Amino acid sequence: MSQPGQAAPAVPLRVAPAALQQFIATLFERAGMSAAHATTVADALVWANLRGVDTHGVARVPRYLEFVETGIINPRPDLRAVSDSPAVQVLEADRAAGAIAMSQAGETAIAKARFAGIGLVLVRGTTHTGSLGYYTESIARRGLTALALTASTPNMAYHGARAAGVSTAPISIAIPGAGSAQTDDPIVLDMAAGIVSLGRLVQAKRLKETLAPGLALDAAGNPTTNAQTAHIPLPLGGAKGSGLALMIEMLTSLAVGNPLIATFFSDATGAKRHRQNALVLAIDVFRFCPEDVFRRDVALTVAALKALPPDPAAGGILMPGERGYSEARRRRQDGIPLPGGIAAELAGAAAKYGLALPWAP
């Protein structure tokens, strides 16, 4: 905490995770969400910060608040099943914040998987779902394997085209880890189908970097290495990444009758308005493989990979999600770093909603 007359601190502001989460939750409650919903949305954002995925953390709060103010996010959504089968539910999210719809979808997927062996929830008409690992990790901690996919409006090039045609299509898969049920840290893959993330393009722009060729197009669709004009990520592996993104749109948006790509390029009212569709799948894996055998095999598989000869150019042989767990341990202790720009935006929101800041101004 700086004293009057002291120079601004060289180290970035760091905020304790619990205090940050409470602050963000109160902001969303003041903006109109129920206390329970506000807590869930704040928890999902701070989870991303803890794991070092700051692009999907509290940096999103000003935009979420704007979404609430402009009606894109419905702060009091009426989430309801519009179709129900023994193992599948279509959940109409009624423009809920993504974390609300996806968390509820995860609970339903688990319940259905406990009955049928597998449970699928197709989420219709939600908003920014954020880090999908938040939902899959939570399912894997309960002892099930999990998959989550999200489709959103086009922001990534479709292979063969010089324009955004599909979304970066986040994909997360999680499985129960090698620990005991008590000490379990699931293995969590959390990736997207782009060769580079939108967040990375923003970062390169801020740091005035030159991009490697083959990563991005500018807004006009021309290939560029200039981070100042780079706008559209190219798909991972060309046709593979954009094909995967297209199939995710078809598995989610088209399955619930809420096409995003087709509508985006149409003349329909609100064609370009932010919205997402998604799915959450849970498999009751310990019904098919005894828990002790599964966890032992996870441990053996991880050990086998870690014993391979390392690539000296890489930073170690890591499991999916491992870097995030390490970062979370550090940040739980040291606090979550908030760059000045983001802290100022959050301070603005706090002033607007009459809230004290959890850090010294």
Q: Write out the binding residues for a second copy, residues 176-215 only, by CB under 8 A.
A: 187, 189, 191, 195
C-alpha triplet 205, 206, 210: angle, nearest 5°:
40
Q: CB of residue 21 vs a second copy: minimum separation in angstroms?
A: 28
Q: Which of residues 26-55 bind a second copy (CB under 8 A)?
A: none
Q: Which of residues 239-278 bind a second copy (CB under 8 A)?
A: 239-241, 243-244, 246-247, 249-251, 253-257, 259, 261-262, 264-266
* Closest C-alpha among 320, 256, 272 to residue 101: 256
By beta-carbon proximity to a second copy, the closer residue of 69 and 115 is 115
Q: CB of residue 249 vs a second copy: minimum separation in angstroms?
A: 7
Where do we find the tokens 């341990």? 329
Sketch the per residue contact string, 143 through 182, with a second copy: x for CB under 8 A, - otherwise.
--x------------xxxxxx-xx----x-x-x-------
Where do we find the tokens 């441990």? 299
Q: Is 354 in the site for a second copy (CB under 8 A)?
A: no
Q: Which of residues 62-101 bind a second copy (CB under 8 A)?
A: 83, 85-88, 90
* Closest C-alpha among 263, 262, 249, 257 to residue 124: 257
Q: Which of residues 111-140 bind a second copy (CB under 8 A)?
A: 115-118, 120, 122
Separation CA 140–CA 185 (nearest Å) = 9
User: What are the backbone dihedrals phi and psi of residue 125, each rounded to the nearest 5 degrees, phi first?
Assistant: 65, 50
By beta-carbon proximity to a second copy, the closer residue of 267 and 333 is 267
By beta-carbon proximity to a second copy, the closer residue of 31 and 187 is 187
* Closest C-alpha among 55, 37, 31, 33 to residue 45: 55
Separation CA 133–CA 131 (nearest Å) = 5
Residue at 192: amino acid letter = A
Separation CA 251–CA 243 (nearest Å) = 12
Provide the residue count of the chain: 361
By beta-carbon proximity to a second copy, the closer residue of 98 and 119 is 119
Q: CB of residue 167 vs a second copy: minimum separation in angstroms?
A: 12
Q: CB of residue 207 vs a second copy: minimum separation in angstroms?
A: 21
* Closest C-alpha among 152, 137, 251 to residue 185: 137
Q: CB of residue 76 vs a second copy: minimum separation in angstroms?
A: 26
> In the Cβ-directed half-sphere of 210, how many Cα atoms lie within 13 Å?
2
Q: CB of residue 208 vs a second copy: minimum separation in angstroms?
A: 25
Interface with a second copy by CB under 8 A: which range of 51-59, 199-207, 298-306, 340-348? 298-306
Q: Is 308 in the site for a second copy (CB under 8 A)?
A: yes
User: 138-158 burial string, b = 16+ CB within 10 Å, else e?
Assistant: bbbbbbbbbbbbbbbbbbbbb
Q: CB of residue 113 vs a second copy: minimum separation in angstroms?
A: 9
